[in-house]
Amino acid sequence: MTHARQHLVQVVAHRGASEEAPEHTLAAYKKAIEDGADALECDVRLTADGHLVCVHDRRVNRTSNGRGAVSALELADLAALDFGSWKSRDEEPDWEHRPQDPEDTSVLTLERLLELVADAGRPIDLAIETKHPTRWAGQVEERLLVLLKRFGLDAPQSPDESPVRIMSFSARSLHRVRAASPMLPTVYLLQFLSPRLRDGRLPAGVRIAGPSMRIVRSHPAYIQRLKQAGHQVHVWTVNEPEDVDLCVELGVDAIITNRPRAVLHRLGR
Ligand code: G3P
Ligand code: CA
């Protein structure tokens, strides 16, 4: 986590600057970089023809003008869809930086996102979440590592040096990543706090906990236990000023937010 050393709390743009621009589009990530985010978060899924694309839901229905499961569609099918106009249809009538370039609201491949980060002109970390990895029995992680290798990001010298980290709700997915690339940091995501995790232990080999803001609000002592156990804590999704303040008070290491500009402002940056 390269930026945690520069700032006390790393600000991570969740699906890009996804409050202001359509999630997981180039427009949303460009906006996050422009806003000064330290890192970008994205979800990845495999298309029917084996490409990793940045889409949150199993189906494209909510965030595009198409229908169907990502896993049943080829990249060319997805490339024909518009991933931008739902934002104006369902949310704000005018989002601030409506892009002119169709690429900015097309389906975003992980490869294109890696290029954007490489060309950003300043160091930016990337938090990549594997979605539904069990369905593909290892293929998501395999493709992910092949792609990271192409960008020289698959085998960092140490986890602390890595600009990329892999997140998942699936301990098995994280295990596959570490088995192939032991120095890549992994983040175990938690939506609810199950009794077996309350002592602050994480699945073997995992360095970073990724609790929901709901857990942080209801179990602040758990966050302290994680820190005492030597883990980093990356919290999602932190959009309200009072939640930002609570995260800072508890000493979390990264705040994952749809509003990077507002959070940076709250942190006095
Ligand atoms: O950053 C973790 C968070 O994104 C997990 O939840 O549903 O937004 O992918 P979700
Ligand atoms: Ca995610």
* 56 included as an active-site residue: yes
Interior angle at CA 17, CA 267 and CA 210, nearest 5 = 65
Q: Whose CA is nearest to atom 1 of ligand 1?
A: 236
Separation between Cα atoms, residue 67 and residue 46, nearest integer Å: 16
Ligand 1 atom with the smallest distance to the CA of 56 is 9
Ligand 2 centre distance from Cα of residue 189 (Å): 9
Q: Does residue 159 carry a pLDDT above 70?
A: yes
**131 C-alpha to ligand 2 centroid (Å):** 8
Q: How far apart are CA 182 and CA 175, in angstroms?
A: 9
From the CA of 9, how far away is ligand 1's center (Å)?
18
- Is the Cβ atom of 256 under 6 angstroms away from ligand 1? yes
CA distance 95 to 72: 31
For 25, residues 6+ apart whose C-beta sits below 8 A from its C-beta are 16, 83, 84, 104, 105, 106, 108
- For residues 99 and 105, the answer to whether their CB atoms sit within 8 Å is yes
Catalytic site residue from 3, 24, 56, 234: 56
Hey, what are 153's tokens?
A: 């990001």
The pLDDT value given to residue 260: 98
Q: Is 40 in the pocket of ligand 1 (CB under 6 A)?
A: no
Domain at 10-266, CATH class: alpha beta
Query: What pLDDT band is residue 135 in, cutting at 50, 70 and 90?
Result: low
Residue nearest to ligand 1 atom 6, measured at CA: 236
Task: Summarize pLDDT for 165-211 with one digit per residue, the tens.
Answer: 999 999 999 999 999 999 999 999 999 998 888 888 999 999 999 99
Query: Which has the closest alpha carbon to 231: 213, 252, 246?
Result: 252
What is the DSSP-derived secondary structure letter of residue 265? H
pLDDT band at 5 (very low <50, low <70, confident <90, very high): very low
